Amino acid sequence: MHRALITGGTAGIGAAFARAFAGRGAALVLVARDADRLDEAAAQLREAYGVDVETLVADLSDRGAQQRVADRLETDVDPVDVLVNNAGFSVRASLLEEDLTAHDRGFEVMIRAVLKLGGAAGRGMGRRGRGWIINVGSVSALVTQNNYSAIKAWVGNYSESLGVQLDGSGVQVTALMPGWVRTEFHDRAGIKGSSIPGVLWLGADRLVADCLRDVARGKPVSIPSKRWKLIAAVLRTTPRGVVASLSAVLSHRRSREK
């Protein structure tokens, strides 16, 4: 039986991954900051799917918490063979701000923690000869709006690089690059999304189902839905000056939604 560890596993895309794995009979390790919310999510999953659900309270902006989760990934006791690096949040602070608090937290949760946990999972899974690592990035990595875009660009490159290093080990790495997904992520960031056409939104469960199909096919990058695959292909082949102009338009629209 598989055991999947999911960071940010109580809401949004993380919760959708938890439901998807639980529906397949996999045991879960949910990681999040809020102990009460973790307990509630775990209880609901146990009742609905009858699976074992372990919880780890961890604020991944704290390096001690990162280490605790890394230790859980690397142990051979009740081993984890699926890691979903999902925890994250929007970083909308200006790149010109003198106060780097928001940027530093973004780096810790979405870069250092991803690096730390990916390495621990790769070592443990590689030693056992089997495993899957899913790193949640974003199609926003292909534009140049803000530090969130830059962070997610790192996640995509890191995932493919980790996959190269783990080649032949039995461990597969997939970068999930979603577009606009209907979750509480945008509400928390104060993003209304009113300027985004309805056709561009995806449901979290659909997103995860598409991702897991790509994982089963051994794909290093998963971009769910034909519409977002097309958008990503266009962005990758568009001159960078044009992408910069498009990013400026998107940033202006976003600022009007505050």
Active site residues: 148
The amino acid occupying position 119 is G
Q: Which residue has the tokens 């001690």?
A: 64
Q: Using CA atoms, how far apart are residues 193 and 65, in angstroms rounded to an integer?
A: 33
Is the torsion defined by CA of 50, 123, 68, 37 positive or negative?
A: negative
Q: Which residues pair with 182 in a beta bridge?
A: 203
Of 200, 222, 178, nearest in space to 12 by CA:
178
Q: Using CA atoms, how far apart are residues 160 and 224, in angstroms rounded to an integer?
A: 17
- 8 Å CB contact between 173 and 162: yes
Residue 231 CA to its chain's centroid (Å): 20
Sheet strand arrangement including 131-136: 53-57, 27-32, 3-7, 82-85, 131-136, 171-176, 221-222
